[in-house]
A and B are shown apart, each in its own frame.
Chain A
Amino acid sequence: MCSLCGVLGGNEHWTDAAARPGVFTRNHASPDRRRERAERVRAANEMLSGLGLVLTDWQGASFVLSTRTGRSEIIEDLGHLWPAAERLAGRSCDPLDVAFIARMEARHVV
């Protein structure tokens, strides 16, 4: 636990259960863990950019989700990401929304 802010460890979201370096480790292999988190942040930002939101890693313990005007929310794991994103963006994040799908498809055509 971080003594300054009282954030507990213990992240138990189902996406954490991948047998990949950096996913299960908490106290060891810090570079792997940071790399894994950076990869998650990158992948999440691919999806969030269309909503005007940016996710950043926060001290390797939590994530901070921010709008372009700086409104921010701390989230613990990816299970909390989408409800928070909907609150901050003021609209739903629907992966079955045709416009959203088309935006994501357009990104892959380079």
Chain B
Amino acid sequence: MSFEASGFLPINLLTGFLGSGKTTLLKRILADPAFADTAVLINELGEIGLDHDLVESVDGEMVLLRSGCVCCTVRGELAAALKELYSRRERGLLPPFRRVIIESTGLADPFPVLSTIKADPVLRHHFCAGNVITTIDAVNGLRQLDTYIESNRQAAVADRLVVTKTDLAAGCEGPALQSRLRTLNPDAPILVAADPDLDLSSLVAAQSNVSSSNSLSPSGFYCEEPVELVSADGATHQAAISSISFSIDRPVDWTAFGLWLTMLLNRHGERILRVKGILNLSGEERPVAVHGVQHLVHTPVHMDGWPSADHTSRLVFILDGLDGALLKRSFEAFTPARMPQMSSVASYPIAAAQ
């Protein structure tokens, strides 16, 4: 289902490390006629905001959040700014924008922004989470990934990875950076900002609507084949971010899966940077796409149908310091094909269907 059809305004988050080209990409996006109906929020760390002066093309639709980093101090301000934008839109003071882009500071953790949208009782009826777009600098990207945990987290939670400044890079780092990003985030498409064919609208498109991207699978899910990770490479990383993908040949029991994932997120939510999957549920014809960031699980999407004869469930987890193999074993143990009916169950005082 497209964002437009759902009636909710998608909020896209543009993030990336300091100096990785967020504002440049934003300027480019806003110059594109296809993005004319976009409202922008810019968040800056520090007393004096500069970035909003660099982006001149949007006048009344731009709001600057001044008081600090979006991930810790301005959640209330973010909610207020979004409500004000929506209020002005409804009163006709602003053109009826159809999407919002938030440019976050280079040090922000994207998760609190998403949770603000979901948790606020007003916002969640008008807005929905769009894509997290992360810019990575081709020149300094690898070094930042080695040094800063924020950089790793931004790459890990991204829906779209945009490599910038490839024209400045010598070229030798390209494949290394790509494989590093794949390790952190196996299923987000990696786009190159300097690519003349780059379709900017694909940055904000709902996942199921994106087409003809190289890495997109026919199912609309980005990870057709489980990605095998090179452990020797992973061992050298300072940050313990890793990913695991697995396929499940049998139908999955939704109730057991829900209980298991809820329990897992309750205990390890901050260390599960991303969960994404397409599930073949027992008793249902249509596949369900599950999508979560840390403690937050988006409403599962019922896809219209399986695009191919392959009805295998697939799950991708991006983990910070958790053992992927153990997680897979846990999944198998807690969500068997059919929970066995055991005699002891009868002793539970279940309120039976009447």
Residues of A within 8 A of B (CB): 14-15, 17-20, 30-31, 34-35, 37-47, 49, 54-60, 78-79, 81-83, 86, 92-96, 98, 101-102, 104-105, 107-108, 110
Contacts and interface: CB of A to CB of B under 8 A. Distances in A.
Contact of B255 (A14, A39, A96): A39
A99 to B, nearest CB: 11
Contact of A56 (B281, B302, B349): B349
A98 B325 CA distance: 12
Interface residues of B, number: 45
B51 interface: no
Nearest to A23: B254
A72 B330 CA distance: 28
B322 interface: yes
A60 B352 CA distance: 10
Interface string B311-354: 00000000000110011011011101001101011001111111
Specify which of A46, A56, A82 lies most central, judged by the most chain B CB atoms within 10 Å of its CB. A46
A92 B263 CA distance: 10
Given A18-B254, A47-B263, A57-B350, A95 B342 contact: no
Contacts of B349: 54, 56
Contact of B267 (A59, A79, A96): A96
Given A95-B334, A104-B334, A107-B342, A43 B255 contact: yes
B338 to A, nearest CB: 10
A40 B110 CA distance: 33
Contacts of A18: 254, 281, 284, 288, 300
B353 A78 contact: no
Interface in B245-294: 253-256, 258-260, 262-264, 266-268, 281, 283-284, 286, 288
Contacts of A49: 344
B299 interface: yes
Contacts of B342: 46, 107
Contacts of B302: 19
Nearest to B329: A101
B27 interface: no
B299 A14 contact: yes
A95 B322 contact: no
Kindly list the 6 A-B residue pairs having the minimum CB-CB distance in the complex, ordered from nearest: A15-B258, A57-B351, A82-B266, A104-B333, A34-B353, A35-B353
